[in-house]
Amino acid sequence: MGKILRRLFMVAMLPLAFFAQTASFAADLQAEGRIQLSQGDNAEASKKFAEAAKVNPFDPSAINNQAVAVAAQGDYEKALALLERAVRLGPGRADIVVNLQEMRRWVARNAPQIKVSEKSNPVMNVYPDSDIPPEPPPLWKK
């Protein structure tokens, strides 16, 4: 019984070891990207941050950093889209929210051709009788 439990524990720990290794790899990519960015190599920095975001597509920091590098290359529309995604992934990250606000202000002033999407509020009272949609047509019912 002890061998079985030990083997199950080892199998259960494999994903954790993989995740730790993957997180470390993504952190290394971000560190390399920050070095490239500090040296003025914005294109290479953007590639490193994009690789880090591929390793962990839910990391708002990697996406924020990629947006900074992309903006430094002059692609403000893509930078804005990346920042909006980063804020959706990490709404509590004040630094990313500030970056998005600053980018929106800059784009509104200097690049009015780029459409700035504002946060939309839910639409209330869309249905006449209540906020519950009407019954579906008969063909949808089983």
Cβ-defined contacts of 19-24 (< 8 Å, 24+): 22/55, 22/56, 23/56
CA distance 98 to 121: 20
Of 71, 88, 80, 89, nearest in space to 115 by CA: 80
Q: Calculate the CA 122 to chain-centre distance.
A: 22
For residue 132, what is the DSSP state? S
Domain ranges of the chain: 22-114
- Mean pLDDT to the nearest integer, 90-109: 91
What average pLDDT is seen over the chain? Answer: 78
- Its pTM stands at 0.65
CA distance 76 to 99: 12
Annotation: CATH topology of 22-114: 1.25.40
Classify burial at 87, counting beta carbons within 10 Å of its beta carbon; exposed 0-12, middle 13-18, buried 19 or more. buried
Q: Could you tell me which residues come within 8 angstroms of residue 57 by beta carbon, excluding any fewer than 6 positions away?
A: none
- Does pLDDT of 107 surpass 70? yes
Tell me the per-residue pLDDT of 2-25, one tens digit each, with 9 for 90 and over.
566 566 555 555 554 444 455 566
Cβ-defined contacts of 115-120 (< 8 Å, 24+): 116/80, 117/84
